[in-house]
Amino acid sequence: MAIPDFQSLMLPLLQLAADGQEHSLAESRTPLAQQFGVTEEERKELLPSGQQPTFNNRVAWAKVYLERAGLLLSTRRAHFQISPRGREVLQRPPTRIDIPFLNGFSEFADFRAKAGPIGQDARSAHETPEETLQSAYQRIREMLAAELLDRVKAASPEFFERLVLDLMLKMGYGGSHDRPGSLTPAGADEGIDGIINEDRLGLDVIYLQAKRWENTIGRPEIQKFVGALHGRRAKKGVFLTTSRFSPEAIAYVTTIDPKIVLIDGCRLAQFMIDLNVGVSPMSPREVYEIKRIDADFFAEE
């Protein structure tokens, strides 16, 4: 079963607190997961940021929203108990507690008005604020990657060869010596477009092949690259393309020596974004800094 959205967790969380005892977020997760049939594997799924399990995040935001509506009381950090208003709601429990239901309480409506809209599409209504923000970030990144790849495809083959060499050096290959890498002369590459020297003497070398193609790269092209590597007694190669690799090509490189890494267009664009190759950070006025409560600041001895 899929992980429930945070609104679906609101009523069960309130019912869990119906005994009037203090509960912690940590202890509430297991019974909620059992109620919704969330597996251990699903509980380990992380938000796009990789910083927090999605299920934990949704339980936490269900608690926050119930507190803002006055149905739960925050007793201490990550702990809660039911409020008198919450007890009244459970005397005639609705079939579901969600944002429209909570909007019936003035405190919650004020909270929502001050916070502003969480999102504009239907999906955002089921996401926690972190999920909405991270989804928006991911969509922006995907659009940037697509535009970046289009620019690379429109450039010359020579530009693409320089780009892949720069990218490999940005990744840290080539060390810190004076001549970490170079391109082979046009027309004399014999299937090798670039060379990365991992040490000063060139004893450990990575060979590059750069294909600015639209068509799928099949096994024959990889075999040609392997032949070029054998001709140089090479042990390492990286084949980069603006297109994609066939399943046969991908399977082939797992069974051969030398070691060859395949980087397709999608992965290439992601590397470029991560390493600021062909892109630049937005100006500080366009950066959104997300902050959270410093619990240590409010701790009293």
For residue 282, give the amino acid letter.
Answer: M
Mean predicted lDDT score pLDDT of the chain: 86
Q: What are the Cα distances from residue 123, in Å, to 126, 128, 129, 136? A: 6, 10, 12, 11
pLDDT, one tens digit per residue, over 202-225 is 678 899 999 999 899 999 999 999
How far is residue 248's CA from residue 220's CA, in Å, rounded to a whole number?
Answer: 10
206, 196 contact by CB (below 8 A): yes
Q: CATH number of the domain at 245, please.
A: 3.40.1350.10
* 224 is a domain residue: yes
More confident residue, 206 or 141: 206
Whether the per-residue pLDDT at 143 is higher than 80: the answer is no
More confident residue, 100 or 295: 100
pLDDT, one tens digit per residue, over 162-200 is 999 999 999 988 766 667 888 888 655 567 999 998 877
pLDDT of residue 119: 42
Task: Quote the domain boundaries for residue 241.
Answer: 151-274
Q: Check whether residue 239 and residue 179 sit in a common domain.
A: yes
pLDDT of residue 120: 40
pLDDT of residue 122: 43
- What average pLDDT score do residues 52-57 get? 92
pLDDT of residue 288: 63
* 236 is a domain residue: yes
| Sheet architecture: strand order including 205-211 | 181-183, 194-197, 205-211, 236-241, 259-263
pLDDT of residue 54: 93
| Phi and psi, residue 143, nearest 5° | -65, -40
- What average pLDDT score do residues 243-260 get? 94
* 131 is a domain residue: no
More confident residue, 147 or 20: 20
pLDDT of residue 121: 43
Q: CATH number of the domain at 83, please.
A: 1.10.10
Whether the per-residue pLDDT at 14 is higher than 90: the answer is yes
Q: How many domains does the chain have?
A: 2
* 139 is a domain residue: no
36, 1 contact by CB (below 8 A): yes
Q: Check whether residue 89 and residue 184 sit in a common domain.
A: no
Q: Grade residue 90 by pLDDT with cuts at 50, 70 and 90.
A: very high
Q: Check whether residue 106 and residue 168 sit in a common domain.
A: no
